[in-house]
Structure 1
Amino acid sequence: MKKIAKICISKYGGDIPSSLEDLLALPGIGPKMAHLVMNIAWDNVHGICVDTHVHRICNRLGWVWRAGSKQKTSTPEETRVALQLWLPKEEWVPINPLLVGFGQTICTPLRPRCDKCGVSEFCPSAFKETQIKKTGGSKKL
């Protein structure tokens, strides 16, 4: 944070960068944070803010896949790119807070509450059992 603050003071007159490229050049700032800053600070939408909740839910719902295949995306950045291909741009900003809250309360990483989910009938992952990689046990998705 101190390093970023020093850069912003010396290079941007105490402000934050106003371009996606300049934000991404700051140490420790990745695509999610850069898009969030562009959206909130500059009211300039360049992309979707994809965190672990958005990434997980989009994969569970079958909304995203790797280019040229039907494999799930493996990173939030792959999810962002895939989601932006079909989601209307006017939905790019509101999708993050909607899915983050949903991911924190219903579609949680472990033991999702499919019985409480309003879209479980449309979800290909609802009530399915999968293998946990670390322990070899099973979990409900």
Structure 2
Amino acid sequence: MSLTRLGASTKQRALEILLILKRLYPDATCSLTYETPVQLLVATILSAQCTDERVNKVTPALFARFPNAESLANADREELQNLIRSTGFYRNKAKNIQGACQKIITEFAGEVPQQMEQLLTLPGVARKTANVVSAHAYGNIQGVTVDTHVKRLSGRLGLTEETDPVKIERDLMRLLPQSDWETYSISIIFHGRAVCKARNPNCAGCDLAHLCPSATMPKLNEMTSI
């Protein structure tokens, strides 16, 4: 597989990458399990430095005990910590979850706000969490969700030279249509888990290798049996 498309503009390559990702992962969606916007908010806060798989093992018992903002805001802190302990950083996460839910009740009439500016006022909520909640709870695409997979793969693909998530998001927003911002994020996360892994990327089996300046393809003599 040659790297013939690397002469194209970054924007053109970004659009080609997006089209391939859409074909590869047509049903890709948020991996977190939730029923309401506040449950998605809580699950996303829990996902920091933790896998979605682990979060999904924790949230059924958590939401059975505390299903809404009011119950979470008034929960016994120690009980809440014990329920989310296995997600890591559980003390800080419990504090942020309760602080966010208390603010939702007192300032937003018990409803998770939809606008980025309001979401960012909630404890424990930065742009990554705000983008996830806005996009998947309300269908309101306001930015590009930048997690570790999006950061790593966007850099490898040459779509950004930045390392700060906010600056990476800014670059991606310039390259991609707004309607596809979250589609790109979710699809690239799936690709990072399945193909372009952190320690051992499968460049030889990657459908994006011809668009990737970081791709390392096997040499011909390594591919030919003697």
TM-score, L = length of structure 1:
0.80
Q: State the Cα deviation string for residues 1-30 of structure 1 (Å, max 9, x = none).
A: 111111111211211112211111111101
1:106 aligns with 2:202: no
Residue number in structure 1 paired with 2:10: none
> Following superposition of structure 1 onto structure 2, how do residues 1-141 of structure 1 map, counting pairs within 5 Å?
1-64=97-160, 72-127=161-216
Larger strand percent: 1
Residue number in structure 1 paired with 2:26: none
SS at the partner of 2:182? Answer: coil
Consecutive unaligned residues in structure 1, runs of 5 or more: 65-71, 129-141
- What is the percentage of aligned positions where both structures have the same residue? 31
Instruction: Report the more deviating stretch, 24-33 or 34-43.
Output: 34-43
Which letter maps to 1:34? A
SS at the partner of 1:6? Answer: helix
SS at the partner of 1:93? Answer: helix
Q: State the Cα deviation string for residues 74-112 of structure 1 (Å, max 9, x = none).
A: 122211100111211121121111000001111111111
TM-score, L = length of structure 2:
0.51
CA contact (8 A) 2:141 2:179 kept: no
* Distance in 2 between residues matched to 1:17 and 1:122, nearest whole Å: 38
* Distance in 1 between residues matched to 2:171 and 2:159, nearest whole Å: 8
Q: How many residues of Structure 1 are paired with residues of Structure 2 in the alignment?
A: 121
* Distance in 2 between residues matched to 1:25 and 1:119, nearest whole Å: 38
Consecutive unaligned residues in structure 2, runs of 5 or more: 1-96, 218-226
Which letter maps to 1:50? V
Structure 1 segments, 4+ long, off by >2 Å, are: none
RMSD over aligned CA atoms reads 1.4
Larger helix percent: 2
Residue number in structure 1 paired with 2:62: none
* Distance in 2 between residues matched to 1:114 and 1:83, nearest whole Å: 22
SS at the partner of 1:80? Answer: helix
Larger radius of gyration between Structure 1 and Structure 2: 2
